[in-house]
Amino acid sequence: SAWGVQKREQFLEKWCEAWERWIAPEIQKRGEAQPVATFLLKNWLRGEKSYLSPLEWTLRIWLAFTGEIQSSQKVQVLRTFLNRFIQGNITYQILEVIASEYLLRKTSALPYRDLEKTIAQITGPRPDELAQIVSETQQKRQKKKRDIILSPSEQVLESLLAEGLLREYPGEKLCIVNPLFTGFLAGGRFTPMDLPQLWTQNQWEIARQTVRYLIVRNANSIDALTLLSGDDSTLKSHFFLLARWLPDISTTAPWRSNLFKQMVQYLQDENLPEGLRARVVAAFVHSGDPSIARLFKSLFSSPSPVMKRLSLLGAGASGDTTLVPDILPFLADPSEEVRLTACLSLSAIPSESAQSAIAETLMHGDEMMRQAAAEALAHHPQEGKEIIQQALKVSDLLTRRAAVLALLQFREEWAKQLAERVAVEDGQWVVRNVASQVAEVLAQKNPRIPNPVPPPWESSWLISFAAKRGIGVTPNVPPIELLLEALRSSSVEDQKAAMEYARMYPDKQIQTEVYRLSQSMDRSVQDMAFSVLWIWNLWGVLSV
């Protein structure tokens, strides 16, 4: 999963501290070239807008500080990092052969001797004159110790183990430390003719990454949209998998524009769950395509409040400052939800005019808008804490109240202590009352952590629901029929309560009913149904 801005910033700060403490002094001691100033590298890396996994972010920072980075593209970063292992008998071809062997054998780990034999086909066998010596040493070595005199192929494996690209598991089995490396390397050994067979294994991470980099390398000669022909799942899993790879795909790929057209169709389809359409917006932003600003700008004119909110979220996530003038009018939109979303969108864009608009809203907006502005400002990666602390000191009553509520965004001890102090010291009882409630909430466990639900036969809701129908709930028996009846009822409360338990029982009939509710007119029901479908998809049991 990608890291958010705050986690990336924290990691970058820790890296810089470690570099200045341990590495930079060593470079200076050796009299080597003067290292680049840390703040220059830090600011350059902060400008990176792409969405990166922790591994990808680490490699990008690592190579930037060592001076090896040649491009900000993920493909080039991976290639540059893997070039570090090219030494002695190790060639890039050998790395690709090792990676492809896992795909050919359909396993994540292979015995040491199997890999050694594969590599020996490239490096050549052990010299004949050493055969007798090796035979004698094998008889004397301790159990599980490998040859004292290593063949070229064994030298390759031992070197890769020592350098950390390979990892050893019980039974002398070896695997590459991360499927991203395996897929990237294996993608260079297969051809477009192998794509259909590899795609049948796309639930396996190594095969999925291999397909990804096979497509990246052959984007102009592969029609990747053929992979979507069997994508009839509710969540469009194959479609989103392909959309996730867009940042790496050449902009000249002939199928890329058709994929974008399909994304626009899904985004504008009012019959699809809002959660799925939000994923489409995320895919657009993640693609980094220069056309997305024009897309969101055109969608701003949609009469649909949902479409407005989705496009505003996308505009904010893109961080494009040119969209600020088009977002500002939405702060006065007739729909409160649209107004709140516009506030959130502006807070994510690094623009002086956007931040000024948020500050103005905090000082002069209506009650809900002030709270939205305060919460949005609280998430500013560098200045959020300071902004809220300053807002607590202004004379305006509603601004202070909004700032107190924004303390809930900081689940840290200082926020709790500050709320307690405001609850005692503020001159207005309205602010003191809210601060007292905030301090109480911050003293409890994080409300975002879901509470475990009791077994169905201990659920007060299900017992009551069954009693109204003159039946009971049998312990240790899946209440499939009761849940189906609740899912089909006209009560929104019963539908949502039933889905709390339905996700534990992915029965075919239950899946059908939950899918029906994912298209409900009630958005809270629709969102919950979509979440249940998403969980089932993660479990690998979704069949509708």
Q: What is the pLDDT of residues 336-368, one digit of tens each?
A: 999 999 999 999 998 999 999 999 999 999 999
Q: Distance between CA atoms of 533 and 541, rounded to whole angstroms?
A: 9
Return the residue matching tokens 């990336």.
8
Encode pLDDT of 438-490 as tens digits: 999 999 988 878 788 899 999 999 999 999 999 999 999 999 999 999 999 99
Residues 404, 419: contact at Cβ < 8 Å?
Answer: yes
Query: The sheet that has 166-169: what strands, in order across it?
Result: 110-111, 173-176, 166-169
pLDDT higher than 80, residue 135: no
Distance, in Å, from the CA atom of 524 to the CA atom of 493, rounded to the nearest integer, reads 10
**399 to each of 10, 163, 339, how far by Cα in Å?**
30, 56, 18
Domain ranges of the chain: 5-69, 92-186, 201-409, 456-539
Euclidean distance between CA atoms 245 and 208, whole angstroms: 11
- For residue 314, pLDDT over 60 is answered with yes
Q: Is 130 a residue whose pLDDT tops 70?
A: no
Residue 166, strand partner residues: 176
pLDDT-derived band at 146 (thresholds 50, 70, 90) equals low
Say what the pLDDT of residue 137 is.
Answer: 46
Calpha distance 476→473 (Å, rounded): 9
pLDDT of residue 31: 78
For 108-125, give the secondary structure using H, E and C. Answer: CCEEHHHHHHHHHHHHCC
Tens digits of per-residue pLDDT, 319-342? 999 999 999 999 999 999 999 999
Averaged confidence pLDDT in the chain = 91
Provide the pLDDT for residue 142. 46
pLDDT, tens digit (0-9, with 9 covering 90-100), for 438-451: 999 999 988 878 78
CB atoms within 10 A of CB 68: 13
Half-sphere exposure of 509 (CA within 13 A, CB side): 10
Long-range contacts of 483-491 (CB under 8 A, 24+ apart): 483/510, 484/509, 484/510, 484/513, 486/462, 487/513, 487/514, 487/517, 488/513
Handedness of CA 478, 479, 481, 484 (dihedral sign): negative
- What class does CATH assign to 92-186? mainly alpha
Residue 163, token pair as written in the block: 């350098």
The CA-CA-CA angle for residues 293, 298, 304, to 5°, reads 125
Q: What is the pTM of this model?
A: 0.86
Tokens 């949209």 sit at which residue? 225
Checking if the pLDDT of 157 tops 60, the result is: yes
pLDDT 10s digits, 12-32 = 999 999 999 999 888 888 876
- Token readout for 359 is 């500050």
Q: Please give the DSSP secondary-structure letter assigned to residue 77.
A: H
Task: Say what the alpha-carbon torsion angle 314, 317, 318, 322 is, to the nearest 10 degrees.
Answer: 80
Torsion of CA 186, 191, 193, 195, to 10 degrees: 40
Lowest mean per-residue pLDDT among 70-74, 153-157, 505-509, 517-521: 70-74
The residue type at 87: Q
The predicted-structure confidence for 38-78, as pLDDT tens digits, reads as follows 999 999 998 877 778 899 999 999 999 998 988 878 899 99
Looking at residue 253, what is its pLDDT?
A: 94
- pLDDT value at position 529? 95
Residue 127 has pLDDT above 70, yes or no: no
pLDDT band at 421 (very low <50, low <70, confident <90, very high): very high
Structure confidence at residue 128 (pLDDT): 58
513 and 481 Cβ atoms separated by less than 8 Å: no
Rounded to the nearest 5 degrees, what angle is found at the Cα of 360, between the Cα atoms of 356 and 362?
115
Q: What is the pLDDT, as a whole number, of residue 119?
A: 96
Q: Fold match between 201-409 and 456-539? A: yes
Q: How far is CA 204 from the centre of its chain?
A: 18
Residue 145 pLDDT: 52
% of the chain residues with pLDDT over 70: 95
Q: Which CATH superfamily is domain 201-409 in?
A: Leucine-rich Repeat Variant (1.25.10.10)
Q: Tell me: the pLDDT tens digits for 278-307?
A: 999 999 999 989 899 999 999 999 999 999
Task: Report the greatest alpha carbon distance in the chain.
Answer: 92
Q: Is the dihedral of CA 48, 54, 60, 66 positive or negative?
A: positive
Q: Which two tokens stand for residue 481?
A: 């029929």
> In 3-state terms, what secondary structure has residue 327?
helix
- The yes or no reply on domain 456-539 and CATH 1.25.40 is no
Which pLDDT does position 62 carry in this prediction? 94
Q: How far apart are CA 241 and CA 283, in angstroms?
A: 10
Rounded-to-integer distance, Cα 519 and Cα 530, Å: 9
- In this predicted structure, what is the pLDDT of residue 232? 66
Picking from 516, 526, 49, 534, the residue whose alpha carbon sits closest to that of residue 279 is: 534
Residue 143 predicted with pLDDT over 60: no
Least confident segment among 97-101, 114-118, 378-382:
378-382
Is it the case that residue 271 has pLDDT exceeding 80? yes
User: Can you give the pLDDT at residue 229?
Assistant: 82
Contact status, residue 539 vs residue 506, Cβ threshold 8 Å: yes
Residue corresponding to tokens 């590599």: 119
Beta strand pairing status for 166-169 and 110-111? unpaired
Rounded to 5°, angle at Cα 101 from 100 and 103: 65
| Distance in angstroms (rounded) separating the CA atoms of residues 176 and 110 | 10
Do residues 338 and 304 touch, judged by C-beta distance below 8 A? Answer: no
pLDDT above 70 (res 501): yes
